[in-house]
Chain A
């Protein structure tokens, strides 16, 4: 008799725990990262080769140059369910095509203002510079963005 009560209580506990776990379920954002081929993608490679752990939430799309990223790509990513978008470029002055990253940062600044009017927070669309040698920086930029988007919660379009 005592046993079965214990089992029952145990089962009850388990159910409560599952409910609790469900409620506390952490939101794992889906983030699309556009990485330039020459610097940032190589930087990501560097982080990988050094086996540095970082958040797995970013799906990387390699582009030849950050200047190739049409703002339509970013809107498309949001529309198709991305909670955040990252654009990683060569440092100013280091662009393989001379000025693609300047174009990218100019577009990004204007796009941020546009996104704000559509109710999409600035933190969901991050632009930063990562060079081929900056594996550590790649890791920290990724982790920071994932944390920021986690705080904001899912983007519902």
Chain B
């Protein structure tokens, strides 16, 4: 073992894109290796859980934890890595605010299992077998981790020191964080969001913005947007207005509306609610002035009809960390 500070990266309920984002710092990975002992990362290295258990507490300097807490195993690893790490960073949208896996919080575990294991055109499961924590086989009892009803973020399970947003975090921002640590400069206040800005994506977006009066919303495939005009003004639901900056406004630059992966800007508690607020502010009101109460509602409903799944769209990344966190249990 070397005397370099240890750095580790773990994945819970996530896709593996965060590991790719880390490797995407390219040749800088050599600097990481020069400064740190990269000792645990199930995606890239063969270190075992037992070896982590045997380490003294707080002996890992930094753990980048990506993924939400979906299963018993995710939770166990979150506790273990919290204990063994000096600085625990929720890395990426899943660990920070739930991300795509958290959209399942709009359903129950049973509904989820039904869709995944039973009612799916590509599923062949005539016996209707569902995952159970314990099952008896001739060789003995098999145990798999329990699957929770609600996906939680890392900070809802253990104490987290910092949050790096993004799906995945931009390599440049990851490097900024690592560079800061290497430089020995004092770390930002605990619990802060690092590797990102504090304002909104609009701040970084070069598109021309003027007064917004949207009469109709479009889905991405329906129109080819003008190159320079704000996407929201063209009726595309661009989440940039309710999303933290730091990514460099990459998506709007290539004609794709922001989907909100950097989470809410500083000071905003609920990204979806903020988006509802923003949409209410940019919809054209000239068309509803002078109408009767009923006609006003009709007109508004017809405008927002083209947003088929507002919760899925506005909380694509932040559902688990939103105010309501999940669909209300009946």
The answer to whether A and B belong to the same complex is yes
What is the interface of chain A, defined by CB distance below 8 A to chain B?
A: 70-72, 74-76, 78-79, 92-93, 99, 102-111, 113-114, 117-120, 129, 155-157
Contact A70 B324 (CB under 8 A): no
For B290, B327, B328, the residue with the greatest tally of chain A CB atoms inside 10 Å of its CB is B328
With contacts A106-B300, A114-B311 known, is A157 near B274, CB below 8 A?
no
C-alpha spacing A108/B106, complex, angstroms: 20
Given A71-B276, A118-B106: A105 and B300 interface contact (C-beta under 8 Å) = yes
Any chain A CB within 8 A of the CB of B304? yes
Q: Please tell me if the beta carbons of A113 and B280 are within 8 angstroms of each other in the complex.
A: no
Beyond A106-B283, A107-B277, whether A157 also contacts B270 by CB under 8 A is no
Give Cα A113 to B309, complex, Å.
9
Q: Is B157 part of the binding interface, using a Cβ–Cβ cutoff of 8 Å?
A: no
Give chain A residues whose Cβ lies under 8 Å from the Cβ of B310: 110, 113-114, 117
Contact of B285 among A103, A113, A114 (CB under 8 A): A103
Bound CA span A64–B305, Å: 30
A70 and B296 contact, Cβ closer than 8 Å, known pairs A110-B279, A119-B327, A156-B329: no
Given contact pairs A109-B300, A110-B304, A104 touches B324 in the complex (Cβ within 8 A):
no
- B273 and A75 contacting across the interface, CB-CB below 8 Å: yes
**Contact for B307 among A105, A110, A118, A157, CB less than 8 A:** A110
- Which listed residue, B268, B288, B327, touches A102 by the CB 8 Å rule? B288
Complex Cα spacing A157 to B326, Å: 9
Minimum distance in angstroms from A154 CB to a CB of chain B: 11
Interface residues of B in 269-322 (CB under 8 A from A): 269-270, 272-274, 276-277, 279-281, 283, 285, 288-291, 293, 296-297, 300-301, 304, 307, 309-312, 314, 322
Q: Which residues of A contact B283 (CB under 8 A)?
A: 106
B-chain residues with CB within 8 Å of residue A110 when the two chains form the complex: 276, 279-280, 304, 307, 310
Residue B186 at the chain A interface, CB threshold 8 Å = no
Q: Does B330 sit within 8 A of A, measured CB to CB?
A: yes
Q: Is the CB of A75 within 8 A of B291?
A: no
- Tell me the smallest distance from the CB of B219 to a CB of chain A, in Å: 16
CB distance from A81 to the nearest CB of B (A): 13
**B14 CB, nearest partner CB in chain A, Å:** 24
Contact in complex: A75, B289 (CB < 8 Å): no
Q: Which residue of A lies closest to B312 (CB)?
A: A117
Q: Which residues of A contact B327 (CB under 8 A)?
A: 117-119
Determine the main DSSP class of A at the interface with B: helix
CA distance A105 to B304 in the complex (A): 12
Nearest 10 pairs between A and B by C-beta? A107-B280, A119-B328, A117-B311, A71-B273, A106-B280, A75-B323, A72-B273, A102-B285, A71-B276, A109-B300
Contact with A along B224-260 (1 / 0, CB 8 A): 0000000000000000000000000000000000000
For this complex, 29 residue pairs linking A to B, each with C-beta atoms less than 8 Å apart, are: A70-B274, A71-B270, A71-B273, A72-B270, A72-B274, A72-B277, A76-B269, A78-B324, A92-B296, A104-B280, A105-B300, A106-B279, A106-B285, A110-B279, A110-B310, A111-B273, A111-B276, A113-B304, A113-B310, A114-B311, A117-B310, A117-B312, A118-B324, A118-B326, A118-B327, A119-B327, A119-B330, A120-B328, A155-B328
Q: Would you call A103 and B281 a contact (CB within 8 A)?
A: yes
> Considering the chains assembled together, what is the distance between the CA atoms of A111 and B288 in angstroms?
18
Q: How far is the CA of A102 from the CA of B281 in the complex (A)?
A: 9
Tell me which of A78, A103, A120 contacts B280 (CB under 8 A).
Answer: A103
Within the complex, the shortest CB–CB distance from B258 to chain A, in Å, comes to: 18
Task: State whether B272 touches A114 (Cβ < 8 A).
Answer: yes
Which residues of chain A have C-beta atoms less than 8 A from B268's C-beta?
72
CB neighbors of A among B57-79 (8 A): none
Given contacts A72-B270, A109-B297, contact A114 B281 (CB under 8 A): no
B326 CB contacts on chain A under 8 angstroms:
118
In the complex, what residue of chain A is closest to B280 when comparing beta carbons?
A107
